[in-house]
Amino acid sequence: MKPQVLTVHPHVQQALVAGAPVVALESTVIAHGLPAPHNLDVARRMEAVVRSEGATPATVAVLDGHVRVGLEPAELERLAEGEVAKVSLHTLAVTLTRRAIGATTVAATMWAAAQVGIRVFATGGIGGVHRGEGWDISADLPALATLPVAVVCSGPKAILDLPRTREWLETWGVPVLGYQTDELPAFFSRSSGLPVDCRVEAPEEAAEIIRTHLALGRGGVLVTVPVPAAQEVPAEQVLAWLAEAEAEAHARGLSGPTLTPFLLNALARFSRGATLQANLALLVNNAAVAARIAGALSHA
């Protein structure tokens, strides 16, 4: 018999049945992307802002052998504390089978959203092609190419190779929209020098393109929203700190899934918290924009 692995929270289920707006949220950013107590605080703020914009939040995680779509407040707390596995698509079945507690990445969260018909998902930054000569490419990219979900983010994380990530998205047919920007945002910074495919000014405009792309029966859409200007960290500064962080990661022999959390944490240390403040601000802002887009999509 096929194992039943997905459980949808009743509030999320009600919204989906009613055709009301729902926004998926990931949990790797809570468990691995941010230090306590900011992680739990921002997870709650993201859910709250989605609600205040009239949509239902659906934070995704792996608990007790199930992929859970929509969590109770106490479950959000469990994810923010203690040992939690980082679950991407290659580790999803293992985490489920072993009944371990897991935080889902963009790739795994997109899969869950697609399974239950959630079309909009908000996060901070997507994974992408890592810098350097290796072949570390996040599973977030093939997920975007194949799963029918719009991911609202502030671009690929600044620790990545942005030009290569941009090329990858083009090759695999992922439309990249710029929300009130002509340039691909660079996570902590508002610009990267790389173009988006199309600038959109309003949620309705984004929703129309998303609806059309999803009707093509291909994969997802990337909606990129720059970090709020007040919390921006200039790209040159980020790159200088990143060089130091990479040297430290190299000296420690870090690679694979531990690399992204290590680099984000090192940048927060070197910047005396400036990158952390940028990360928190963009997460909440992206959740709000995603909720507005989900609202526009539901008034079809």
123 counts as binding ligand PSU under rule CB under 6 A: yes
Q: In the set 39, 95, 138, 286, which binds ligand PSU (CB under 6 A)? A: 138
The number of residues that bind ligand PSU (CB under 6 A) is 19
For the CB of residue 134, give the shortest distance to ligand PSU in the complex, in Å: 12
DSSP annotation string for 158-219? TTB-HHHHHHHHHHTT--EEEET-SB--BTTBS--SPBPSEEE-SHHHHHHHHHHHHHTTS-
Binding to ligand PSU in span 231-290, by CB under 6 A? 257, 260, 264, 279
181 counts as binding ligand PSU under rule CB under 6 A: no
Q: Which residue out of 26, 47, 232, 246 is catalytically annotated?
A: 26
The option from ligand PSU, Mn ion, none interacting with 125 (CB < 5 to 8 A, set by class) reads ligand PSU
The option from ligand PSU, Mn ion, none interacting with 268 (CB < 5 to 8 A, set by class) reads none
39 counts as binding ligand PSU under rule CB under 6 A: no
Task: Verify whether residue 208 is a known catalytic residue.
Answer: no
* Structure token pair of residue 112: 């869950």
- Asked whether the beta carbons of 249 and 263 are under 8 A apart, the reply is yes
In the chain, the N- to C-terminal Cα span, in Å, equals 38
What region, left, alpha or beta, does residue 15 occupy, with left being phi > 0 and alpha being psi -120 to 50 degrees?
alpha
124 counts as binding ligand PSU under rule CB under 6 A: yes
For the CB of residue 14, give the shortest distance to ligand PSU in the complex, in Å: 27
For the CB of residue 257, give the shortest distance to Mn ion in the complex, in Å: 6
Secondary element (H or E) of residue 227 = none
Residue with structure tokens 């992680």? Answer: 39
Task: Verify whether residue 2 is a known catalytic residue.
Answer: no
- Asked whether the beta carbons of 144 and 213 are under 8 A apart, the reply is no
155 counts as binding ligand PSU under rule CB under 6 A: no
Distance CA 137, CA 142 (A): 9
For the window 118-137, what string marks contact with Mn ion as x by the rule CB under 5 A?
A: ------------------x-
For the CB of residue 130, give the shortest distance to Mn ion in the complex, in Å: 7
Distance CA 283, CA 114 (A): 21
- Asked whether the beta carbons of 141 and 169 are under 8 A apart, the reply is yes
For the CB of residue 79, give the shortest distance to ligand PSU in the complex, in Å: 12
Residue with structure tokens 């997507």? Answer: 126
| Chain contacts with Mn ion (rule: CB under 5 A) | 136
| Chain contacts with ligand PSU (rule: CB under 6 A) | 26, 28-29, 32-33, 88, 105-106, 123-125, 127, 138-140, 257, 260, 264, 279
